[in-house]
């Protein structure tokens, strides 16, 4: 019997090389586990019917000596990333039954590596949310405590990995959607540098913030998967090539910046604060120098994010007009078609953001909101630039607390937006950030995982992996 709870991408490759088991045998174990757990967790919206056929094709190649670092990797893909010929809905009614006409660049790269696509992972509708409660296909539950959310918006992708329903997955991160659920479910989630991974074939939310990121059980696996999907792409002009950013060196004695003043605004409980202080002590004991830093404008991050992101959402989602994609509802004339399709196709949170975005961009308000937010975005970037001239990495908790109860925050959007307080700055500035498990807190007798967020300068993911591996003893 294959023990998938111990498996990593790294060890899988060795097992397959040694002929310990076939990809088909591995696929059967995962499918069985998914069959047992998914009805409760709802991580997957669809398990592909051709998983075993895919496995046989890969096994044949391996037998012929053609084995790649990711061969046979059982992976889950967030429902907003296109796979040619397969359904992709962004967990929205408006895209029900939509079949992708091409492969996203990340998928093309994974196909070249012979990965095993298990299925389509649940998410908040169009990636808007932090609990996967905005999916029209039902909430994804936290595999560690089924009364709690898995986080979001990549809740399905993360829960799939956390319940051993996939060895790794891809999510998207616009304001924390890879890192926050990873922290809630005890796995590793990376938001790469903006432009480090192609967005071609990712359904756009906030185009100046969106990035696809890997979700894995170990930091080593995060690095392997990131290296497989990254790189400049002619289909996405915001991807960058070599030499654009001066990459930071991994030094043996690095300086860790801690913006303690940010923690005061985060609403941390004593238990979470204690967990964070323990992480700092661990870093110190690993030989890192700890330095308090100030990021004077970071307190505006949430306000900036919740203006820029809806502005971009409102223009990106204009394309779902009932004519080109998915749902179409007939009205008396073209305008009524649009109104009815969008009114019935989009959920409440998506409509809220389109309305806010349209408002902040409208003549008369653009200067007061959108343009002011752009100015502050620049200020926040300058704060980070200055900080990174003194320190190598910056750490914060990933989230203000552990996974919350299903239904606890969904009727209070502001309290849900506050969950993103530590994660949105990295998206605003475009720097890479990783969430690594940092221990747990006890709530109602259950041990709930927490995450430590590590941020580095643009294109310096290497440093995140280095520090992450040290923290997790990999």
**Which residues lie near ligand GLN (CB under 6 A)?**
127-130, 153, 173-177, 205, 309, 420
**Smallest distance, ligand GLN to C-beta of residue 298, A:** 17
153 is catalytic: yes
**Smallest distance, ligand GLN to C-beta of residue 317, A:** 13
**Distance, CA of 252 to chain centre:** 29
Q: How many residues does the chain have?
A: 474
**Smallest distance, ligand GLN to C-beta of residue 210, A:** 8
Nearer to ligand GLN, 212 or 471 (CB): 212
What is the C-alpha separation between 65 and 63, in angstroms, rounded? Answer: 5
What string of DSSP letters covers 184-215? HHT-EEEEPPTTSB--TTBPPSSTTT-EEEEE
- Determine whether 34 is exposed, middle or buried from the number of CB atoms within 10 Å of its CB (0-12, 13-18, 19+): buried
Nearer to ligand GLN, 27 or 178 (CB): 178
**Smallest distance, ligand GLN to C-beta of residue 394, A:** 19
Catalytic pick from 78, 109, 141, 409? 78
Catalytic pick from 157, 177, 279, 314? 177
User: Which residues are registered as beta bridge partners of 145?
Assistant: 142
**Smallest distance, ligand GLN to C-beta of residue 407, A:** 17
DSSP strand E in 368-445: where? 393-397, 433-443
The residue of the chain with the least Cβ separation from ligand GLN equals: 177
User: Which residues are registered as beta bridge partners of 168?
Assistant: 75
Nearer to ligand GLN, 116 or 307 (CB): 307
473: which residues sit within 8 A by CB, 6+ positions away? none
Nearer to ligand GLN, 178 or 293 (CB): 178
What is the C-alpha separation between 130 and 154, in angstroms, rounded? Answer: 8
Q: Could you tell me whether strands 141-142 and 393-397 are parallel, antiparallel, or unpaired per DSSP bridges?
A: unpaired
**Smallest distance, ligand GLN to C-beta of residue 424, A:** 7
Nearer to ligand GLN, 27 or 202 (CB): 202
φ and ψ at 327, to 5 degrees? -60, 140
Please choose, from the candidates 139, 138, 120, the residue with its C-alpha nearest in 3D space to the C-alpha of residue 81: 120
Q: Could you tell me whether strands 393-397 and 255-258 are parallel, antiparallel, or unpaired per DSSP bridges?
A: parallel
**Distance, CA of 339 to chain centre:** 31
Nearer to ligand GLN, 248 or 353 (CB): 353
Catalytic pick from 22, 90, 153, 314? 153
First-to-last C-alpha distance (Å) of the chain = 25
Residues known to be catalytic: 78, 153, 177
């Amino acid at each position: 019997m294959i023990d998938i709870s111990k498996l990593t991408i790294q060890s899988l490759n060795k097992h397959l090389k040694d002929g310990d088991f076939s990809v088909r045998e591995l696929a059967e174990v995962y499918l069985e586990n998914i069959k047992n757990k998914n009805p409760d967790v709802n991580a997957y919206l669809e398990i592909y019917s051709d998983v075993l056929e895919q496995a046989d094709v890969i096994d044949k190649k391996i037998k012929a000596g053609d084995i790649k670092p990711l061969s046979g990797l059982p992976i889950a893909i967030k429902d907003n990333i296109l796979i040619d010929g397969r359904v992709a809905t962004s967990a929205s009614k408006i895209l029900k039954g939509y079949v992708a006409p091409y492969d996203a660049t990340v998928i093309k790269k994974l196909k070249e590596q012979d990965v095993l696509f298990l299925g389509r992972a649940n998410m908040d509708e169009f990636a808007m949310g932090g609990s996967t409660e905005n999916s029209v296909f039902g909430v994804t539950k936290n595999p560690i405590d089924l009364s709690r959310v898995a986080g979001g918006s990549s809740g399905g992708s993360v829960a799939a990995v956390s319940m051993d329903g996939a060895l790794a997955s891809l999510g998207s991160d616009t304001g924390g959607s890879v890192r926050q659920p990873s922290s809630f479910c005890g796995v590793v989630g990376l938001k790469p540098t903006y432009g480090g991974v192609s967005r071609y074939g990712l359904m756009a939310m906030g185009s100046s913030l969106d990035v696809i990121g890997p979700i894995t059980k170990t930091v080593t696996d995060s690095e392997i998967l990131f290296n497989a999907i990254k790189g400049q792409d002619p289909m996405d002009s915001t991807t960058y090539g070599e030499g654009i950013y001066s990459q930071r060196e991994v030094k043996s004695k690095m300086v860790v910046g801690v913006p303690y003043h940010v923690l005061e605004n985060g609403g941390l409980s004593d238990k979470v604060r204690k967990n964070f202080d323990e992480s700092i002590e661990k870093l110190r004991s690993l030989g890192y120098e700890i330095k308090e830093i100030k990021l004077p404008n970071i307190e505006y991050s949430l306000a900036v994010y919740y203006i820029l992101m809806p502005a971009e959402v409102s223009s990106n989602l204009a394309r779902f007009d009932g004519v080109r994609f998915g749902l179409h509802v007939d009205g008396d004339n073209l305008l009524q078609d649009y109104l009815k399709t969008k009114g019935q196709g989009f959920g409440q949170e998506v409509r809220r953001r389109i309305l806010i975005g349209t408002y902040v961009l409208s003549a008369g308000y653009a200067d007061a909101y959108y343009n002011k937010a752009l100015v502050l975005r620049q200020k926040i970037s300058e704060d980070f630039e200055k900080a990174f001239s003194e320190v190598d990495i910056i750490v914060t908790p990933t989230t203000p607390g552990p996974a919350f109860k299903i239904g606890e925050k969904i009727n209070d959007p502001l309290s849900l937006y506050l969950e993103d307080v530590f994660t949105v700055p990295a998206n605003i500035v475009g720097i890479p950030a990783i969430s690594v498990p940092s221990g747990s807190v006890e709530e109602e007798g259950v041990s709930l995982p927490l995450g430590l967020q590590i941020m580095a300068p643009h294109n310096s993911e290497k440093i995140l992996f280095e520090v992450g591996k040290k923290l997790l003893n990999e």
